Chain A
Amino acid sequence: MSLPITAYVSILHRISGIVLLGGIILLLWMLDTSLSSEQGFNELKETLSSPLMIIIVWGLLAGLAYHTIAGIRHLLMDIGIGETLEGGRLGAKIVALLAVLAILAIGVFLIW
């Protein structure tokens, strides 16, 4: 099948949603650990400094960023914006562009 860009934006929205389903639990657990005690905070800080953890957290935040941006497009379509063929394609391109920028920015922030 050759699919239009709107279809790729849609399937990525779903995939990022599934990633977040598990990822949110991990992020909440990290928040809980960091708030539980000073020792917990330090241990978590130690764990998160490894390159593997940075990549995992980057992946989760990338999913969150993409899901949020694509979700806003859904809300706009629900009020009738971007429902035409051209509008849908333009919206999908804007989502892809904004997501790439957001994911790069998150990456830069994490590595810094």
Chain B
Amino acid sequence: MLKVEVYRYNPETDKTPYMKTYEVDTEGKDLMVLDVLEMLKAKDASLSFRRSCREGVCGSDGVNISGKNGLACITPLSSCVKNNKLVLRPLPGLPVIRDLVIDMSQFYAQYRKIEPFLQNDTPAPAIERLQSPEDRAKLDGLYECILCACCSTSCPSFWWNPDKFVGPAGLLQAYRFLADSRDSANEKRLNGLSDPFSVFRCHGIQNCVSVCPKGLNPTRAIGHIRNMLLHSAT
């Protein structure tokens, strides 16, 4: 039997959050963490968590799994169970709504700040705005982000300043548009990031890189933004 400790908190009935221990029979299979959560939900219908696609595409089941943020649906038990014990907590740093469900308003507010849409003030051509294969390749490793918030909620700089530091997820997307040859708003985008907090709270801790379920690298993207800010300032 696998021991599973789950963070429980129902603001309507609980004064404080607490850890509840369950036992689950995995029949020796290397299940995904989400499978275990579903088994717990069948046992205890009061347990709340987010999930949707169950294959690492939608990004809704980001949780803190035995101390490391990840997507429950693509994290196998073999990678996170130690001494037959699994510990599940909500993503850290953001307010908890209930159990493993967090309030992601601050995360989305930072995403909104970087204006995550293509901006081009030249007249639209009759066909699509074309891009060379080389320019298109610059977006690889950036566009794949699914906004699961595993990175930003593992970042100490984001824990301290969730209202002022854009965070790794937002900055990866900021660079995704800065690097896009079809976008012509670079100057405006860089001006919006040049204050001491938006970008420069990143201290290269690399928690974001170590947890990203898609293997992306916000630290490098932030380095590129810094270089662009440096060049635009001279």
Contact = CB atoms under 8 A, between A and B. Distances in A.
Contacts of B205: 6-7, 10
B66 interface: yes
Chain A, interface size category, equals 10 to 19
Interface of A: 1-4, 6-7, 10-11, 13-14, 74, 77-78, 80, 83-85, 88
Given A1-B67, A2-B67, A88 B223 contact: no
A10 B205 CA distance: 6
A83 B92 contact: no
A7 B156 CA distance: 9
Contact of A83 (B64, B68, B217): B217
Contacts of B67: 1-2
Given A1-B67, A85-B210, A80 B204 contact: no
A88 B206 contact: yes
B204 A7 contact: no
Contacts, number: 53
Interface in B182-234: 203-207, 209-210, 217, 219-220, 223, 226
Nearest to B67: A2
Nearest to B227: A80
A84 B220 contact: yes
A80 B92 CA distance: 29
Given A84-B217, A85-B217, A6 B207 contact: yes
A4 B226 CA distance: 24
